[in-house]
Amino acid sequence: MKSLTKEEKSVIENKGTEKPFTCEYRNHFKKGKYICRKCEATLYRSKDKFKSDCGWPSFDDEMKGVVKRVPDADGVRTEIICANCGAHLGHVFEGEKLTDKNVRHCVNSISLEFIGDEKQ
């Protein structure tokens, strides 16, 4: 496990949220993969990222078995966490019809690191 900064801990371990429209990967569309900032598990592929205008990076699919859904403390939303280390990623929403898969993983950039494809 990597050491986290105070800001990273606030989101990843204490279930905080980045301010909308300020996230590093919100408008980032290079080819590659997104890994968990805490444990480096591969979570998302760039091909599953889409522009949603919600203020945070959005994905309509995850790598199999690496993102766990749990009821949020607010009793309304569904939180998504890294299945490997429990890092808070954000929330998942269904039924918005933003993509054919009809799902949106709304993820805090600070919970992720991007690794680009070497074929760019």
Active-site residue set: 106
Residue 111 domain flag: yes
- Within-domain flag for 1: no
pTM for this entry:
0.93
pLDDT digits (tens, 9 = 90+) for 74-95: 889 999 999 999 999 999 999 9
pLDDT of 25-71, one tens digit each?
999 999 999 999 999 999 999 999 999 999 999 999 999 999 999 99
**What's the total number of domains in the chain?**
1
Residue 53 covered by a domain:
yes
DSSP 19: P
Q: Residue 2 pLDDT more than 90?
A: no
What CATH number should be reported for the domain holding residue 44?
2.170.150.20
Q: Kindly state whether residue 46 falls inside one of the protein's structural domains.
A: yes
> Domain for residue 25, yes or no?
yes
Examine residue 19 and state whether it is found in any structural domain, yes or no. yes
Distance between CA atoms of residues 109 and 111, nearest Å: 5
Domain that holds residue 111: 6-116
